Amino acid sequence: MRQHVNPLSRNFTQIERIPSLSEMFCDPKLNLHLDIGCAAGEFLFDLALDNSSWNYLGIEIRERLVKTAKLKVQEKEIKNLYFLFGNAYNILKDVQCKLIIKNIKSVSFNFPDPWFKKRHIKRRVIQPEFINFLSNFLQKGSLIFIKTDVKDLFDHMDCTLSSNLNFKKLEKNDFNYSDNFNPNQFKTSREKYVLFNQLDIFERVYIKI
149 classed as catalytic? no
Distance CA 153, CA 56 (A): 25
The single residue among 18, 34, 47, 59 that binds ligand SAM, judged by CB under 6 A, is 59
The b-or-e profile of 18-57 (16+ CB within 10 A means b, else e) is beebeebbeeeebbbbbbbbbbbbbbbbbbbeebeebbbb
The single residue among 51, 80, 135, 188 that binds ligand SAM, judged by CB under 6 A, is 188
Catalytic position from the list 35, 46, 94, 113: 113
CB burial class (10 A; 0-12, 13-18, 19+) of residue 77? exposed
Selected range binding ligand SAM among 23-31, 158-166, 174-182, 187-195, rule: CB under 6 A: 187-195
The single residue among 30, 107, 112, 134 that binds ligand SAM, judged by CB under 6 A, is 112
Smallest gap, in angstroms, from Cβ of residue 56 to ligand SAM?
A: 13
The single residue among 25, 111, 167, 206 that binds ligand SAM, judged by CB under 6 A, is 111
Nearer to ligand SAM, 115 or 167 (CB): 115
The single residue among 21, 30, 32, 38 that binds ligand SAM, judged by CB under 6 A, is 38
Nearer to ligand SAM, 34 or 73 (CB): 34
Q: Does 60 bind ligand SAM (CB under 6 A)?
A: yes
Q: Does 66 bind ligand SAM (CB under 6 A)?
A: no
| Number of Cβ atoms within 10 Å of the Cβ of 1 | 5
Distance CA 100, CA 121 (A): 28
Q: Does 101 bind ligand SAM (CB under 6 A)?
A: no
Q: Does 37 bind ligand SAM (CB under 6 A)?
A: yes
**Contact by Cβ (8 Å): 36, 106:** no
Amino acid in the structure at residue 16: E
The single residue among 44, 78, 106, 113 that binds ligand SAM, judged by CB under 6 A, is 113
Q: Does 79 bind ligand SAM (CB under 6 A)?
A: no
Phi, psi of 32 (to 5 degrees): -115, 130
The distance in angstroms from the start CA to the end CA of the chain is: 40
- Of 144, 152, 151, the C-alpha closest to 169 is 144
Q: How many CA atoms lie within 13 A of 102 on its CB side?
A: 9
Q: Does 41 bind ligand SAM (CB under 6 A)?
A: no
- Catalytic residues, by residue number, are 113
Q: What are the residues binding ligand SAM (CB under 6 A)? A: 5, 7, 36-39, 59-62, 87-88, 110-113, 125, 188-191
